[in-house]
Amino acid sequence: MTTRYRVEYALKSHRRDQLIEWVKGLLISPFVLFSQPAGGFEDVDAVFAADSAEVRRRYAEIMRDIETMVAEHRLLQGDDLLDSRRDSWPPPRPSRLQLLVPTVGPFFTPLPLEAAFLFQDRRRRISSRRLLVTFDGDLTLYEDGQNLEPDSPLIPRILELLRRDIKVGIVTAAGYDTADRYYERLHGLLCAVRDAGPDSLTDAQKHGLVVVGGEASFVFAYSPDSPALLAAVAPTVWMPDAMKQWPADDVAELLDLAETTLRACVERLQLPATVLRKARAVGIVPLVAAGAAVFGRSSNSPGSAIVPAAAAPKTNMSREGLEEVVLTVQKRLEVSAAGRAGRVPFCAFNGGRDVFVDIGDKSWGVQICQHALRFLGGSTTTHTAARPGTTLHVGDQFLSAGANDFRARRAATTAWVANPVETCALLDELLFHLGGGAPGPTTDADAL
C-alpha cells in the first residue's frame, strides 16, 4: 500500500526542469516504438532480446548526442563559472543546447551521459523495460522526524569518504545556534568519527566534517574536545565576501515583513502555532500542548547523548495549511522593495511541522561549505579548494514550494535522491567509481 506522502505528492504540481523534460522528449521515440509488453502466450524471448539491444543502442546514441552538446555548451560558457561567479551568466553567445533549452544553466563538470547510461543499464535493465514507474521523496540522510542513529548504513559510507580525503558538509535548514541540537540529530555520525582510530581516520580527515545550519547562517566544525563534538566557527572564517556585502537594512526589512505576514497567516488560517524570531530567520512552530520541551544530557562525558528530558507533545498542522503559509510569505517578500532589489537572497520552506523564512538558501549553504573547507581539516592550498566542479550536493527532490535543493545547482553538481536507501546506493556507486570495489546490489527503489 502506498504511503500517504506519495499520494499527496502525486496530486501536486511541481516545478519541472526544462532540460530534463527535453531529454525525456528525446527518449520518447525509442520507448514508444518498443513499449508493447511481451505477450504471455507466445515465445518472444529472442524478439525481446533483440528489441532490448536496439533500445539500448538508441538510448546510448541519444545520450552521446546530448553529451556532445553539453561539451559545446561548456566551451562557450568559459571558465569563470568554475569559481561560481553569478555575474558571468548567461554567456554572450548561446550554444545549440541553450537555443533548444533556453533555461539551461552552467555545467560545472563534463556530463558523460553515454557511459552513465550504460553503467546504470547493466544494473537496472532500463533498456529491458516496457512499462515505467518513477517516484520522488523528501528525505536524504534519515527518515522524517528521525535522527542519524549509530546503526545507520550511511555512516560507514560517509567515513569511507572522509578516509579518502573527501570532505563532507551537511547543509540543513535547521537553524540552531548551538551545537547541542545538531549533535542530537547527527550523534551517530559524530560518535563514529570520534571513535575511529588513527589507523582509520587521521585528525585532519576528521576535521573535514562541517555542518552548515539555518541554510547559510551557522557553521560548526568537528571538535573532539567539545561535549557535542561540534564547535562553532566564527563568521570571519567561513563567510564569503559576497555575503558580507548584504545590506543589514534589507535583512531586517525582509525578516520584519516575513514576521508580520506569518502572524497574519496564523490568525487568518487559525493555525495552532506561534511565531519564532531568530537572528537570521523567522518562522512558525506548533504550539506545545503543556510546557516547553527541555533538553538535557544523559551524562557529563564528552559526546554523551542528548536526550529529551521533558518533551511535551506538540500540536500538528496540516500540510495544506503549511504550504499556504509558504506560498503567501514567499510571494509577499518577492514583491516587497527589499525582495525586488535582490540584494539579499531568502527562502521560505515547509519543514513538515513548521514553516521558516531564512536569509540565504541552499546554494549559499553549499558555497559556505566550499569556502570554509579551504581553512578546515588541514588543507589550505589553492588546488584543493572546493569549487562547483569538485563538489557534489546530494539532496531530496524538491517540493512545489521552497525548492532549496533546486537552488543548490547554482553552486555545485547535484544528485537527487528519494530516501536514505537511495543515498546509500548513490554513495556505493560513487565509491565504486573512486576505486572502492563493486557497488552494492540493486535496491527495491532502484528497481522502480
Told to judge if 136 belongs to the known catalytic residues of this protein, a careful annotator would answer: yes
d(CA 341, CA 250): 9
CA angle 389/368/184 to nearest 5° reads: 115
Q: Encode burial over 85-109: b for 16+ CB neighbours within 10 A, e otherwise.
A: eeeeeebeeebebbeebeebbbbbe
According to DSSP, the β-strands at 218-222 and 209-213 are antiparallel
DSSP per-residue letters across 228-278 = TSEEE--HHHH--HHHHTS-HHHHHHHHHHHHHHHHHHHHHHT-SEEEEE-
Residue of 80, 136, 177, 446 marked active site = 136
DSSP per-residue letters across 106-122 = --SS---HHHHHHHHHH
Q: Which three cell numbers stand for residue 191?
A: 560518535
d(CA 48, CA 55): 10
Task: Please report where in the chains the cell 563538489 appears, as a residue.
Answer: 391
- Put residue 78 in one of left, alpha, beta given phi > 0 → left and psi -120 to 50 → alpha: left
Strand partners, 218: 213
SS3 for 8? helix
SS3 for 355? strand
Backbone angles phi, psi at 149, to 5 degrees: -80, 160
Q: Which residues, 6+ apart, have CB-to-CB distance to 184 below 8 Å?
A: 147, 295, 306
Residue of 51, 121, 138, 250 marked active site = 138
Length of the chain, in residues: 448
- Tell whether the torsion through CA atoms of 140, 142, 145 and 147 is positive or negative: negative
Q: Which residues are catalytic?
A: 136, 138
